[in-house]
């Protein structure tokens, strides 16, 4: 760079402008005109150089130093540009200092939810399940009717769902993928479906209106509740540790019969009780059960011949406990200062 301070002449500013014009010159004739304008016989820098003799004696040495240095700088840029143009280079728009250190671009990394989803997928695939996906915008048939949720059921209330049109909504559960998959495939069926679901909720540290779930479905001859129990236990242990315990509590869902709530022993405190599990030692993970015969009939699978189980597990809970995140809003905020930690 050209030194800017202590130059008793305007040569520094003039040389800077001259270098800018050199770099913007797009052909040799233009470049030549720039050279003459600045360092030709009547050029601006030449004129300053000649006028040094008229300066007060004490300023002459310094002025001479700067003007010569600036002229040198100008000529170096001129020669470089001349070579570039001879090689057919294009215009350089901005003055660019090649000696500046490079800027390191910020590196992205995978979101904790994505990473956990990938771990879930890996466990499920090791257990012999195939990956299935379905749309996030669903119709009432797949979100409710086929899942045995009748017209007046509370789950269909508009205040509990994001309706887009009369019979179109953001899916409120990943069980919709079960229906879509069974419509197109005949047993044996063994799939899992990870994805987002949407339910209106007042947002606070532990509530949000988007959730990540993984759905599991196994339909074949002679599938029983014990298959369900062992798959859940194996899944939990692969994901969260070999000491994990499984607890199933009787429950009710329209699309499974019998149904149960899934609890995992708290993988933060090992079941002794901590703030994550609310001192209970257990974490509520989701719901499961044997696929209701009505659901199988809806998708033309004979419930006399086939049985199956289904489960849905919340992923955000696992992410929060695993990464020590105490506010669910951070998961969805996409604040890079937060995400950079993982």
Q: Where do contacts with Zn ion occur on this chain (CB under 5 A)?
A: 266, 268-269, 274, 276-277
Please state the closest distance from residue 286 (CB atom) to Zn ion, in A: 17
What are 16's two structure tokens?
């800077």
Residue 299 CA to residue 179 CA, distance in Å, equals 7
Please state the closest distance from residue 123 (CB atom) to Zn ion, in A: 21
Closest CB to Zn ion among residues 48, 321: 321
Closest CB to Zn ion among residues 137, 269: 269
- CA R_g for the chain: 36
Alpha helices in the chain (DSSP H): 11-24, 28-39, 44-51, 57-86, 112-126, 140-143, 175-184, 225-240, 293-298, 316-323, 328-333, 336-339
Closest CB to Zn ion among residues 286, 289: 286
Closest CB to Zn ion among residues 266, 295: 266
Contact 292, 148 (CB under 8 A): yes
Closest CB to Zn ion among residues 75, 276: 276
Please state the closest distance from residue 233 (CB atom) to Zn ion, in A: 19
Closest CB to Zn ion among residues 132, 283: 283
Phi, psi for 340 (deg, rounded to 5): -60, -20
Closest CB to Zn ion among residues 90, 275: 275
Please state the closest distance from residue 273 (CB atom) to Zn ion, in A: 6
Please state the closest distance from residue 325 (CB atom) to Zn ion, in A: 15
Contact 256, 228 (CB under 8 A): no
Write down the residue that tokens 């057919």 correspond to.
Answer: 88
Please state the closest distance from residue 282 (CB atom) to Zn ion, in A: 8
Q: Crossing angle of helices 28-39/44-51, nearest 10°?
A: 20
Residue 191 CA to residue 84 CA, distance in Å, equals 61
Strands 130-131 and 189-198: parallel
Closest CB to Zn ion among residues 228, 240: 240
For residue 188, say if its preceding peptide bond is cis, omega within 30 degrees of 0: yes
Which residue number has the CB closest to Zn ion? 266
Residue 308 CA to residue 338 CA, distance in Å, equals 41
Please state the closest distance from residue 318 (CB atom) to Zn ion, in A: 13
Contact 85, 27 (CB under 8 A): yes
Please state the closest distance from residue 122 (CB atom) to Zn ion, in A: 25
Residue 159 CA to residue 255 CA, distance in Å, equals 21
């Amino acid at each position: 760079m050209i030194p800017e301070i202590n130059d008793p002449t305007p040569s520094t500013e003039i040389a800077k402008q001259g270098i800018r014009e050199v770099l913007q010159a797009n052909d040799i004739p233009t470049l030549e005109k720039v050279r003459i304008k600045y360092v030709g016989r009547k050029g601006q820098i030449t004129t300053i150089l000649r006028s040094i003799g008229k300066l007060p004696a004490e300023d002459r040495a310094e002025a001479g130093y700067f003007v010569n240095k600036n002229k040198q700088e100008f000529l170096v840029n001129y020669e470089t540009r001349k070579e570039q143009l001879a090689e057919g280079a294009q215009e350089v728009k901005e003055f660019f200092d090649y000696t500046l250190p490079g800027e390191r671009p910020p590196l992205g990394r995978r979101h904790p939810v994505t990473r956990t989803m990938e771990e879930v997928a890996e466990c499920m695939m090791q257990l012999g399940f195939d990956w299935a996906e379905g749309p996030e915008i669903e119709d009432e048939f797949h979100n409710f009717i086929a899942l045995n949720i009748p017209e007046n059921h509370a789950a269909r209330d508009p205040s509990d769902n994001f309706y887009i049109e009369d019979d179109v909504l953001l899916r409120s559960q990943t069980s919709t993928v079960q229906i879509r998959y069974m419509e197109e495939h005949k047993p044996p069926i063994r799939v899992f479906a990870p994805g987002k679901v949407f339910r209106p909720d007042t947002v606070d540290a532990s509530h949000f209106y988007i959730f990540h779930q993984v759905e599991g479905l196994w339909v074949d001859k002679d599938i029983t509740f014990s298959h369900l129990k062992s798959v859940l236990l194996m899944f939990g242990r692969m994901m969260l540790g070999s000491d994990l315990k499984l607890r199933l509590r009787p429950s009710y869902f329209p699309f499974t019969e019998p149904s149960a709530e899934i609890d995992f022993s708290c993988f933060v405190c090992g079941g002794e009780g901590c703030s994550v599990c609310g001192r209970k030692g257990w974490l509520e993970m989701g719901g499961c059960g044997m696929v209701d015969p009505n659901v199988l009939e809806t998708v033309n699978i004979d419930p006399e011949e086939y049985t199956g189980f289904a489960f849905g597990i919340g992923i955000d809970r696992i992410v929060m406990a695993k990464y020590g995140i105490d506010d669910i809003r951070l998961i969805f905020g996409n604040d890079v200062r937060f995400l950079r930690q993982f």
